Structure 1
Amino acid sequence: MKKNMVLLSLVAALGLSACDKPSTQETSNAAGSADKVYTVGVDNTYPPFEFTKDGQLIGIDVDLINAIAKNQGFTINIEQMDFSGIIPAMQAGMIDVGMGGMSITDKRKETVDFSEPYFAAGVSLVVADNNQDIASLDDLTGKKVVVKNGTVGASFADKNTEQYGYSIIQVSDSASMFQEVSNGTADALMEDYPVISYAIATGGLDLKTVGERLTGDDYGISVLKDKNDELLKMINDGLANLKESGEYETIMNTYLD
């Protein structure tokens, strides 16, 4: 009998405790969206948009998304990954936002929704500084062109291989792409104009851009298609506010002046 009384008392105590403590869902609802942390996927080998200096991740995209989050009152966590893995990571639910100098294309729009454009880019053809043989796409017949996986430059190169008669080498990061041309393994590369211009100006690369820009792309901030309308609105509102306040221009001038 004593054992039964103890057992009943214990059950009653547990019942009262359960009644006093809200469920996980109720706690989440009470906290609201302010407790939501959005994970942003970026490529950390894409200066001046993302790169590591003195062990710290910096760049236009890093400063921009942090400023947007602060302006709109939400919290972010930045994850570094290969550029080609950003959209797949978003599809797998590992990240909420994709950046990395991501050009707005019709193909990507099948999978993600883009913010308003925040940078006008475009792909350039790049050769070794001492190369006098290649001045345009017409000079690439029989040549080797190196590209970075998942980029607009890679897509452009793939679409135009047959027309201009070159072969393609694929690498996973910008540094390897630059090295392929510098050491003569490849004859040319295709890279976004602001990225290669910054790399040549600051990295002492023996490379040069030739001819006109091959494409006219805009960069955008991406979220999974039809899944994150509220977040996309906050990103667009924050971007507009930064442009109006002058903070956007300050961020750009930090890396591009």
Structure 2
Amino acid sequence: MMRKRIISVAALAVSASLLFSGCAGGSGDADAAAGGSAGDSELGLPIGEEPSTEANPELTALLPEEIQESGVLKMGSEFPYPPMADLNEDNRAVGYDPELVRALAQKLGVEAEIIKQPFSTAIPGLQAGKIDVYMGGMTDTPERQETLSFVNYLFGGFKTVAMKGNPEGLSTLDDLCGLNVAVGASTVQGDILRSHDCGDTPVNVVEYPTDADVHTAVRAGRAVAFVTDGFVAEWLAENTNDGEVFEVVRDPEAPAGFSPVYAGIGILKEDEQLVEALQAALQELIEEGTYQEILDRNGLSDFAVESAEINQGKAL
């Protein structure tokens, strides 16, 4: 299970300062394809060496020529977004997505470069060639499939998070009707809430550019709750200030989270070679057990997929 972390307002400020202090170009992970530092434990993320794997030359040959020539796979992700991604005290990317992309890169015989890319600009970043793939718990939807292909790597629902003690007595989605609820910009969560049947008092969905802003809005009372991926909700409730800030709303109608969806590695639809290469690499990681090790280390075992599939996302 996830390791607890103590997050204070000051610690969040440090994390934010790391995020905006020049890591945008890359995390240095091309030179550190395996092995976390002991400092990772202070973030509540895994300590010790990351799972590693061996390159498969047959899979390397599947990569687009430009990636084979550069020897680098560029992955975009948003920080902080634990347990998916965070930065340790050395400004190194840690968490599920960084660990998985480093393992995928190893399997493909290249190095991983991790680049800060806000979720709301993921697709423009891919289209501009700044990144090759986006990994950040991106929900696989038919609308996004018009532009992207997804190598699905997680499956789970969404959950509502309120302040500790759940002062509004929230339970089901109906309880959010007429209230301010925070979500990340351009997320599926916002679409779900806006489409929820509330009669004459719809949910007042308030979008924020980053997840840190979403959490701050609830702590500051600008929203009564936020909605996020179930695995992120549970992690935040357990780890923020040792579990004393947030509380996951336990919906009796959807104990595992509502509207379960696939999340995946987002790749431009026309990059068919890269899609094929990553699907094959993920399948090998699944079969050899490296994928499960990475899930277990990051407290995400309940959200595993059984095999590497493409575009399983359906209309919500």
TM-score norm. by structure 1 comes to 0.81
Instruction: Give the RMSD, CA atoms, in angstroms.
Output: 2.1
Counterpart position of 1:249:
292
Distance 1:142 1:35 in 2: 52
Kindly state the Cα deviation for residue 202 of structure 1 after the two structures are TM-superposed: 1.6
Q: From the superposition, tell whether residues 136 and 107 of structure 1 become closer, same or farther in structure 2 (CA, over 3 Å).
A: same
Counterpart of 1:127 (choices 159, 162, 184) is 162
CA distance in 2, matches of 1:143, 1:33: 51
- Paired position in structure 1 for 2:72: 37
Instruction: Report SS of the residue matched to 2:143.
Output: helix
Where do 1:175-254 residues align within 5 Å?
175-204=212-241, 205-210=244-249, 211=251, 212=254, 213-226=257-270, 228-254=271-297
The offset of 1:141, in angstroms, is 2.8
Q: CA deviation at 1:162?
A: 5.7
Aligned counterparts of 1:53 and 1:111: Cα–Cα separation in 2 = 33
CA positional deviation for 1:34: 4.1
Q: Does the CA contact (< 8 Å) of 2:184 and 2:208 recur in 1?
A: yes
Residue among 86, 110, 117 paired with 1:51: 86
CA contact (8 A) 1:34 1:74 kept: no
Q: 1:140 to 1:70 in 2, by over 3 A?
A: same
Structure 1 CA distance for aligned equivalents of residues 101 and 136 of structure 2: 11
CA contact (8 A) 2:168 2:224 kept: no
Matches of 1:180 and 1:31 in 2, distance apart?
A: 43
From 118, 137, 140, give the equivalent of 1:104.
Answer: 140
| Residue in 2 that maps onto 1:64 | 100
Give 3-state SS (helix, strand or coil) of 1:168's partner: strand
Q: Distance in 2 between matches of 1:80 and 1:247?
A: 25
Q: CA deviation at 1:35?
A: 3.1
| 8 Å CA contact 1:40, 1:78 repeated in 2 | yes
Aligned to 2:57: none
CA contact (8 A) 2:105 2:112 kept: yes
CA distance in 1, matches of 2:206, 2:68: 45
Q: Secondary structure at the match of 2:260?
A: coil
Counterpart of 1:78 in structure 2 is 114
Give yes or no for contact 2:236–2:246 (8 Å, CA) kept in 1.
Answer: no
Larger Rg: 1
> Which is worse superposed, 155-164 or 97-106?
155-164
Deviation of 1:127 (Å): 1.6
Displacement of 1:252 in angstroms is: 1.1
Residue 152 of structure 2 is aligned to residue 152 of structure 1: no
Kindly provide the amino acid, as one letter, of the partner of residue 199 in structure 1: L
Provide the identity percentage.
Answer: 27
Deviations 1:173-204 (A, max 9, x none): 22221222223221121111101111111223
> Offset at 1:32?
8.8
- Aligned pairs, number: 226
Q: Any gaps of 5 or more consecutive residues in structure 1?
A: 1-29
CA distances 1:223-251 after superposition (whole Å, capped 9, x unpaired): 1112x111111111111111111111111
Aligned residue identity for 1:89: G
Structure 2: unaligned runs, 5 residues or longer:
1-64, 301-316
For 2:59, the equivalent position in structure 1 comes to none
Q: Which amino acid aligns with 2:98?
A: V
Instruction: Indicate the structure with greater helix content.
Output: 1
Secondary structure of the 1:169 match is: strand
Q: For residue 125 of structure 1, report the CA deviation from its aligned partner.
A: 1.6
8 Å contact 1:125–1:214 — kept in the other structure? Answer: no
Q: Give the TM-score normalised by structure 2.
A: 0.67
